Chain A
C-alpha cells in the first residue's frame, strides 16, 4: 500500500506542477489570449451545434451499431495479428530509471501502468465524447457516452496488453509468429467475406448473431434506460476480467519496455527539436543533390545542405520519373482512353489544380528545412563570415525548390489533363492554356518564396511562440497562439499580394491596346513577379538583419 501511495504521490505532484506551470504562463497576456483563442476554437468545433438533431431512427441506429461492431471485431482480431515477440508496457525513461531498480513487485509495476493508463484514458474518452456528442441528442447523453468511451478504450488497451503477453507465452519463434499471423489474417479475411455475404443477401438475423460479442461492447452508445445499465454492467465485468487477465500473466516485459521508452524518448526529442521522425529504416548515406564546388555561392551550399536533409524520396530522379509518368499517362488517357479516358484526364486535371492550392497553403507548415530548422544551429551560423540576408536566402531555397517542383507536377497534370476548347472550357484556347501554364510555372518559385517568408518571419521575430528547431511550446494556449499566427500570416499574404496583382491587372489592361491577350498575360505576369520579387528581397533583407540581432537562447527563455 505504501508503494502505491508513493506512485500516487508521483502522479499527483506531476499533475500539480503541470497546472502550476500552466497558470504561471497565463500571467503573460499573449498566452492568456492564446488560451481564449483555443477555447473559442474548441467551442466552435465541438459545442456549437447548428440545430438540435432529431432522434435517431431505429433502423439507422441498428445500422450504426452493426457497423461499429464490425469495426470493433476487426480491431480485436488485429490485436492478435500484430504483436511481435517482445511485449511491452509504456514507461517513460524516468520511470524506467526510478522504478525498475526500486523494490517493487512486477505486479505493482503493472498495476501502476494500468491505472495511469486508465487516467490517461479519461482524456481520450473526453475527446471522443465531444466528437460523438455532436451526432446525438437528449439530456445526459454526454455522460452516457463518456462512460461508454472510457470503458471501451480501456478494454481495447487491456486486450492489447493481454494479447501481447499471452502470445509471448505461446511461443516467440519466427515460425510460430508467422503461423499465428497467417491464421489470424485468414480468419479476418473469412470474417470480412462472411459479413459481406450476409449484407448482400440481407441475412440480418445471422449478421446480428455473428457480431453479437462486439455489439455488447458498443451497446452503451445506442441503448437507454435499463438496457444502458445492463450494457454498462457487462462492460464493467469485461473490464475486470481483462484487468485480472493482464495481471495474472507472468510475462517479462522489462527489456521491451526499456527499449520502447528509449525509442519514445528519442522520437520525442526529435519532435521537440523540430526534426522529422522516421521510425522505420536504417539511416544510410544520401546521394548528393549536386556536386559542391569550392567557389560556389554560399546560398547554393545552404541549398545543398538542406536538400541533403530532405526525405530520400524527394529527389531529382523521382521528380523526372513522376513528370514522365504524368505526361505519358495523361497523353494515353486522352488519346487511347476514349470518352471515359478524356473525362478522367479532365477530372485529374481539375483535382490537380485543387491539390496544388492545398499544397501551397499547407506545405510551408510541413516543409520546414529552412530558417526554422536552422535556428537549432543558430549560434554556429551566426559565427559564419556572412551577412544575415545571405543565410536567410540560402535557407529558403530548399523548401522553395520542393514546393515549386510539386507545383510544377500539379500544373503538368492540369495542363495535360484539361482539354483546350473542351465542353466545359470552350473559352480555353490551346494558346491560352499554354501561356497560362507557362506563366503559372514561372510564378511558382516566387510564390513559394512569398508563402515561406511568413512562417520564417514568425520563427525569427517570435521564436518563443513558433515551433523552431530548438524547442516547441506545447499546450492549449500555445495551440491558440498558432491559430492566431496562421490568421495573421494569411492577412500578411493578402497585403503583400495586393500591389503585384494590381500592377499585373493594369499591365494586362494597357497591353490589350497594342498586343494579343497571350502577350498581355505574359507581360502582366512578368510585371507582377518583378514587384513580388522586390518585396521578397526586401523581406529577406529585413529577416537577415533580424537574424544577425537575434539572441535565440534569450528569446526561448522568455
Chain B
C-alpha cells in the first residue's frame, strides 16, 4: 500500500530526511516516532504529496506520487496535528466541499453516517468558531474519511482530545486498519498510543532510520534481554532520548 524507497528531503544543504526505505501493507499501522526535528512530519508530508521529495520513489497503492499525484492522492487522507477549518463554512458544508473535491458520488448517506459516528449530527449547521477543539478534530476526520481512503496519515492525532475522544480515535484507527484494510502511518510522541494501536514502528533520529520492524521485534531488539520493556524505554535506548 505504501512503498518508500531511497527517500530523502533536503532544504538547501540541510538533510531533513536521508535515505529512508520502508513498506506499510494493508491492515498495518506504522508508528513513526523520534525526537523533535527527527523528520517525522516532513516524511508524512512528502509521502502524502503535500510537498515534493528531493529524491526517492514514493508509492501510494502502487501509484508513484511524483508521476501521478492526483491518482495517488485519491487513495489517501492526511490529518494534520491541528484541525484547520474554513472559518465561514458550516460542518455540513465542510463535508459537502470535501465530497466535491474528492468527487465522491452520492455522498449524503456516507456523510450522515460519519456525522453520527463523530457525534456531530446536531452541529451540522454550526461554524468552526462554535465548535470545541475536539469537535473540530472530529470534523477533520469525517472530511478525510468521506472518500474512503485506503491509506491514512495521522500527525499527532490525539492533540487536544478529551479522554473519550482519545478512546474513540484509537478505536477508529484500529477499525480502519483491521476492518477496512487501510494502511496507516501515525506520527506521535505519545508512545502509549503507539503501543496500543501500531503493528509496526519506525524510529527516526536526525532524519535517519534508527529502527524499523514489527513492534514486538523492535522491542525485542532493544530489550537487552530484559522482559516487559516498554516502547518508551526502547525509544530512549534507540535515540538516546535527545534531539542531538
Contacts and interface: CB of A to CB of B under 8 A. Distances in A.
A3 B49 CA distance: 18
A105 B70 contact: yes
Interface string B178-214: 0000000000000000000000000000000000000
A109 to B, nearest CB: 11
B186 to A, nearest CB: 16
Contact of A101 (B76, B90, B100): B76
From DSSP, what is the main secondary structure of chain A's interface residues? helix
A255 B100 contact: no
Interface in B148-190: none
Nearest to B76: A101
Given A6-B101, A101-B77, A14 B70 contact: no
B195 to A, nearest CB: 27
Nearest to A16: B88
A290 interface: no
Contacts of B84: 93-94, 96-98
A252 B88 contact: no
A338 B111 CA distance: 83
Interface in B128-150: 140, 143
Contact of A14 (B50, B73, B80, B86): B86
Interface size class of A (residues with CB under 8 A): 20 to 34
B52 A252 contact: yes
Nearest to A99: B101
A298 interface: no
Nearest to A105: B70
Nearest to B103: A2
A239 B82 CA distance: 38
A120 to B, nearest CB: 14
B97 A103 contact: no
Interface in B69-124: 69-74, 76-78, 80, 82, 84-90, 93, 96-98, 100-103
B127 interface: yes
Contact of A103 (B50, B71, B80, B88): B71
Interface in A10-45: 10, 13-15, 17-18, 21
B52 A254 contact: yes
A101 B73 contact: yes
Q: Which of A92, A95, A101 has the most CB of B within 10 A?
A: A101
Given A13-B88, A14-B86, A17-B89, A104 B97 contact: no
B52 A14 contact: no
A195 B101 CA distance: 52
A101 B79 CA distance: 9
15 contacts: A3-B100, A7-B101, A9-B96, A9-B97, A14-B88, A17-B93, A17-B127, A95-B86, A97-B80, A98-B143, A101-B50, A102-B73, A103-B74, A252-B52, A255-B51
Interface of B: 48-52, 69-74, 76-78, 80, 82, 84-90, 93, 96-98, 100-103, 127, 140, 143
Given A98-B97, A103-B69, A103-B74, 5 more contacts: A2-B103, A6-B101, A92-B86, A103-B72, A103-B103
Q: Which 9 A-B pairs have the closest CB atoms?
A: A6-B100, A101-B78, A97-B84, A103-B73, A14-B88, A93-B84, A17-B88, A103-B74, A6-B101
Interface of A: 2-3, 5-7, 9-10, 13-15, 17-18, 21, 92-106, 252, 254-255, 258
